[in-house]
């Protein structure tokens, strides 16, 4: 290896301290984000399980899946729909603690 090649390789690994700190902080945040997503969502669907969001088959006052922003009603307008946040079939009169008025 020529001297200039060696210098180039060494300079690659000789990053400024603030770059190393930023890289370390980024990797730490990445690790924390992964842990949160594993704990809060199904690894297959990316949605939370019903148990994780305290899903129940009855509304909470005026709050119900059918008026939640995450609810997707069934095509035929009859029966259970789906939810973009919670996995499985979702009853229109159900509720969970991710509810958000739609």
Binding site residues, ligand SF4, CB under 6 A: 53, 55, 65, 68, 70-71, 83, 85-86, 90, 94-96, 98-99
Environment class of residue 86 by beta-carbon count within 10 Å: exposed (0-12), middle (13-18) or buried (19+)?
A: buried
Closer residue to ligand SF4 in complex, CB, 31/102 = 102
Cβ atoms of 77 and 43 within 8 Å: the answer is: no
Closer residue to ligand SF4 in complex, CB, 37/54 = 54
Closer residue to ligand SF4 in complex, CB, 42/70 = 70
Closer residue to ligand SF4 in complex, CB, 34/84 = 84
Distance CA 61, CA 77 (A): 22
Q: How far is the CB of 33 from ligand SF4 (least distance, A)?
A: 21
- If one counts every other C-beta atom within 10 angstroms of the C-beta of residue 39, the result is 9
Q: How far is the CB of 15 from ligand SF4 (least distance, A)?
A: 44
Q: How far is the CB of 43 from ligand SF4 (least distance, A)?
A: 19
User: Alpha carbon of 90 to those of 8, 36, 49, 71, 95: distances in Å?
Assistant: 59, 24, 11, 8, 9
């Amino acid at each position: 290896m020529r001297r200039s090649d060696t210098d180039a390789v060494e300079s690659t690994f000789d990053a400024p301290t603030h770059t190393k700190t930023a890289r370390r902080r980024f990797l730490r945040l990445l690790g924390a984000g992964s842990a949160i997503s594993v704990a809060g969502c199904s690894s297959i669907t990316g949605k939370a399980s019903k148990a994780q969001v305290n899903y129940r088959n009855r509304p909470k006052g005026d709050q119900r899946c059918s008026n939640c922003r995450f609810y997707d009603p069934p095509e035929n307008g009859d029966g259970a729909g789906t939810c973009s946040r919670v996995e499985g079939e979702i009853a229109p009169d159900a509720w969970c603690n991710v509810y958000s008025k739609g």
